[in-house]
Copies of this chain bind each other. A is one copy, B any other.
Amino acid sequence: MAAKKYIYYFGPKGADGNAKMKDLLGGKGANLAEMCNLKIPVPSGFTISTEACVEYFDLKEKWPAGLKQEMLKNLARLEKEMGKNFGDENNPLLLSVRSGSRASMPGMMDTILNLGLNDTTIHGLIKRSGNEWFAYDSYRRFITMFSDVALGVERLQFEKALETEKNKVGVMLDTGLPLGSLKSLVEEFKKIVLAHTGSPFPQDPKVQLQVAIDAVFASWNNPRAQKYRSMYSIPATWGTAVNVQSMVFGNMGDTSGTGVAFTRDPSTGERRFFGEFLFNAQGEDVVAGIRTPLSISQMGQKLPECKKDLDKIYNNLETHYRDMLDIEFTVENEKLYMLQARVGKRTAEAALRIAVEMVSEKLITKEEAINRVQPEQLDQLLHDTIDSSANLNVLTKGLPASPGAGVGKVVFTAEEAIELAAQGEKLILVRQETSPEDIGGMNAAQGILTATGGMTSHAAVVARGMGKCCVAGAEQLKISVENGIFTVGSTAVQKGDWITLDGSTGRVIVGKAPLVKPKLSNDFHTFMSWADKFRRLKVRTNADTPHDAKIARDFGAEGIGLCRTEHMFFEGDRIVAVREMILADNDLERRGALDKLLPMQREDFIGIFKAMDGLPVTVRLLDPPLHEFLPREEEDYAVLAKDLNVSIVDLKSRASRLKEFNPMLGHRGCRLGITFPAIYDMQVRAIMEAVCHLTKQGMKVQPEIMIPLVAHHEELRILRARAVAEAEKVIEESGVRAPYTIGSMIELPRAAITADKIAMHSDFFSFGTNDLTQTTFGLSRDDSGRFLPEYVQEGILPIDPFVSIDVDGVGELVKMGVEKGRSVKPKLKIGICGEHGGEANSVAFCHKTGFDYVSCSPYRIPLARLAAAQAVIASSASKPATKKKAAGGKKVVAKKTTVVKKKAAPKKKAAVKKAKGKK
């Protein structure tokens, strides 16, 4: 076997690698190689591959055989090219050593600059630069970084000494320190190293280099990096590459400096070169944030030639990469060097604008444009957000359960929320957890905060449906409803106090944070119209009211995939009739209550059908366990007892019989339809009366009646027959022939397994992947909060299966359901109405599995439209192997986007500082 190649050289004559070799060289290494190939000035150097890192760990932190020789060979080549020698006391080669993995992991890993300096080579540096101050400045920086990263000496130790010295000589900035101070700091720093490590600071440059490479390898497994990887699903097996580069110095005086720029505005997407520059500085100075950087045009005034070169380079790079880039560069004595070029992170607004404009510039195709925006990013555009320049008093963090931001006064009950909202107050509803009874209050509030419950808890699901912000499961909250107070640690927040919720990050903020309103640009509409041309999947919405239906249509909904009739049951006074129905002791009592409900439900359906104006509407018959509708207050029982003419004691005893151990797996869904057939009869009648009423008026209506929680085909056969009988009765009564279809939810494993039998009685399938996930995993989403987060964090599960469909498990059942269903009815209409219908990877799964449509809450519709378009583009990519890789890569990219959302975001200075931090 030929010796393995671990190291890839790059320099002015070109490089061993190129931009496509990210897996092997890491993002930074691949892009450095690419720039060399493009003859763009880059400090020469070499990249030690990720494979070397992986083998290093496999060998229990030993270098693979041959790596050292290969490194020495490359070092020699570098020395020759630079005309400098490593460790040379006259003309020393100095190096930077940086990590760089396949996925960007900003700030997570380590960098060492100025490596090769020691008590001898510093004299060479002084000689060659003619700048003793610069040389000692570099040396003290090197000792700090090397000791911190490679020797495990706390950086704080060195910063303290530096601070002491600055106080002693009375200067504010590092650059103000006299040479003598730097010299004594170097001595002081060496003493710190000796004291903390028991050994003197290593003077041999080759030892320095080897230790530094070890340290970069090791940084792959430092706790920060591990945490980051688990957060963003980056496999531990990838390893990091190590980039060893000859140093160029931005701190050589006033004709030197360092800069960061974006080829277009990362915040707005505007086509303008945009960045910042610091004279006489190395990258870390920007992080320290003591000096204020200048704009690129200010740099151009002092270094016009450099600016001209930079403009040429960035234009070349953008044309070459065909994307907006984030670049880093250093000027050493008026000579420009590129240190980094990579695809730049951007806000959703910018992503849209850049994608649309690059199409009109003919730089990219529409397919490429579609792939340039991450579906999840669109959420940013649809909701209020907190002004990112504001100073915030963050009290605690919960789960980012429903995006957007809300400001309001704290209330603790739904009743208060409704009452105060009617008086024009803005409110945040704070609950231990919410229940269907709280819906009115949730609707009245600006946002919802709960102490327990996960991303798919009641509060989260309903809030997302309403497009209302929600922070769920803020576990530090201790709520006392009686005292009208909640506490987090020692901080107390009382009823009526203002708080702000950030549903996009989960932050709970004390006081009124300033909000920024969303607006949908023309670019948005252009972009979405392209997406619509590509996609095959229809996108419907989950909506229970004409109001929601209207919002959804504005976002492009092509029908309703899930209209939950039970949500209507809580509105206004009808809950009383619902309770009478539930607590009826016999069919007569039940019938009486249902007769009261019938006209109300009919009006509901008329409203919704009208709002959807001829588009298909899937109505799910009653699903939840009946006890969800039970009264909780004494007075409610009194009202009911009077209505039903029974004693309160009797009524409570009836109610207690509805208690269930595991309501999720209890008497609900079509089991109610079987045991209390009058309920479904009433609902079918209400639907069909609405349909016939509108049909008579000449309106088109497409009702799809959906039976929930079917486990056995016999259930469906019986209920379908009853529904058809009732529907035909209504049609006959009304005298107009109106169309309708009847289908089944597939939300239990048994339904998927026996889908061929169920399809015999079904006009369509709608996969309820929330419940299907619960039963397939044996995992109640309401109870998962105590261990599921740990599961995801520890990587036991790659992702929360309630957020993105579990392809290996739940997905297998879905596939089985689709295949078996279509084996009987090849044209069976198939959709999804679980939360997954609004998540990009799940939408892609639905596309691949042959679904006809996805359905999601109104605010997720643009996301689903885009994801559906991307799924088409991904599946038409030629090679299956490439496809697979692309999909894997995409996931990580999507995650990176989240980082932008969370941290960098629009503010320009903050973004640049962040970027610099990575050097």
Which A residues have a C-beta under 8 Å from some C-beta of B?
660-667, 671, 674-675, 709, 711-712, 714-715, 718, 747-750, 753-754, 757, 771, 774-780, 782-783, 786-787, 790-791, 794-797, 806, 808-810, 812-813
Q: Are B771 and A748 in contact (CB under 8 A)?
A: no
Residues of B within 8 A of A775 (CB): 665, 749, 775-776, 778
What's the least CB distance linking A750 to chain B, in Å?
4
Asked if B809 and A753 sit within 8 Å, CB to CB, the answer is yes
Q: How far in angstroms is the closest Cβ of chain B from A280?
A: 52
Output the least CB separation between A286 and chain B (Å).
41
Say yes or no: A660-B783 contact (C-beta < 8 A), given A778-B665, A790-B674. Answer: yes
Contacts of A808 in B (CB 8 A): 753-754, 757
B774 touches A749 (CB 8 A): no
Give the distance to chain B from A885, nearest Cβ to Cβ, in Å. 22
* CB-defined contacts of A712 to chain B, threshold 8 Å: 796-797, 809
Given contacts A712-B796, A809-B754, contact A748 B776 (CB under 8 A): yes
A664 to B795 Cα, complex, angstroms: 24
One of B778, B782, B794, B813 near A661 (C-beta < 8 A): B782
Do the beta carbons of A813 and B753 come within 8 Å of each other? Answer: yes
Q: Across the interface, do B749 and A796 meet the contact criterion of CB distance under 8 Å? A: no
B750 touches A662 (CB 8 A): no
Q: Which residues of B contact A787 (CB under 8 A)?
A: 667, 671, 674-675
Chain B min CB distance to A220 (Å): 21
Can you list 27 pairs linking A and B with CB atoms under 8 Å apart? A661-B780, A661-B782, A661-B783, A662-B664, A662-B780, A662-B783, A663-B783, A664-B665, A665-B665, A665-B774, A665-B780, A667-B783, A674-B787, A674-B790, A674-B791, A675-B787, A711-B777, A711-B809, A712-B796, A718-B796, A750-B776, A750-B778, A750-B809, A750-B810, A753-B813, A754-B812, A775-B778
By the criterion CB–CB under 8 Å, are B749 and A813 in contact?
yes
Copies of this chain, how many? 2
Q: Is the Cβ of B748 less than 8 Å from the Cβ of A778?
A: yes
Given contact pairs A749-B813, A754-B809, a sample of 14 additional A-B residue pairs in the complex whose CB atoms are under 8 Å apart: A662-B665, A663-B783, A665-B775, A665-B779, A666-B780, A667-B786, A667-B787, A711-B778, A718-B796, A749-B776, A750-B777, A750-B806, A750-B810, A753-B808
Contact partners of A795 in chain B: CB under 8 A:
714
The CA-CA distance from A675 to B812 in the complex, in Å, is: 28
Q: How far is the CB of A448 from chain B (nearest CB, A)?
A: 18
By a CB distance below 8 angstroms, the chain B residues around A754 are 808-809, 812
Contacts of A786 in B (CB 8 A): 666-667, 675
User: Smallest CB–CB gap between A480 and chain B, Å?
Assistant: 12
CB closest residue in chain B, given A748: B778
Alpha-carbon separation in the docked complex, A780 to B625 (Å): 13
In the complex, A748→B715 CA distance in Å? 23
- In the assembled complex, the Cα of A782 lies from the Cα of B662 at a distance in Å of 8
Asked whether A790 lies within 8 Å of B750 as measured between CB atoms, the reply is: no
Alpha-carbon gap, A797 to B754, bound state (A): 14
Nearest B residue (CB) for A750: B809
Chain B: minimal CB distance from A571 (Å): 24
A756 to chain B, nearest CB (A): 10
What residues on B are CB-neighbors of A757 within 8 Å?
808
Q: Is A714 within 8 A of B783, CB to CB?
A: no
Chain B neighbourhood of A674, CB < 8 A: 787, 790-791, 794, 796
Please, how many angstroms separate the alpha-carbon atoms of A749 and B753 in the complex? 10
Chain B residues near A783 (CB-CB < 8 A):
660-663, 665-667
Nearest CB on B from A568, distance (A): 23
Nearest CB in chain B: distance from A9 CB, A: 40
User: CB-CB < 8 A to A749: which residues of B?
Assistant: 749, 775-776, 778, 809, 813
List the 8 closest A-B pairs by CB distance, nearest first.
A665-B780, A662-B780, A750-B809, A666-B783, A749-B749, A748-B778, A661-B782, A714-B796
Q: Are B812 and A753 closer than 8 Å at their CB atoms?
A: yes
A675-B750 in contact (CB<8A): no
| Complex interface: chain B residues within 8 A of A748 (CB) | 776-778
Most buried by B among A711, A749, A771, A808: A749
Tell me how far the C-beta of A250 lies from the nearest C-beta in chain B, rounded to whole angstroms: 47
Contacts of A776 in B (CB 8 A): 748-750, 753, 775
The residue on B at minimum CB distance from A625 is B783
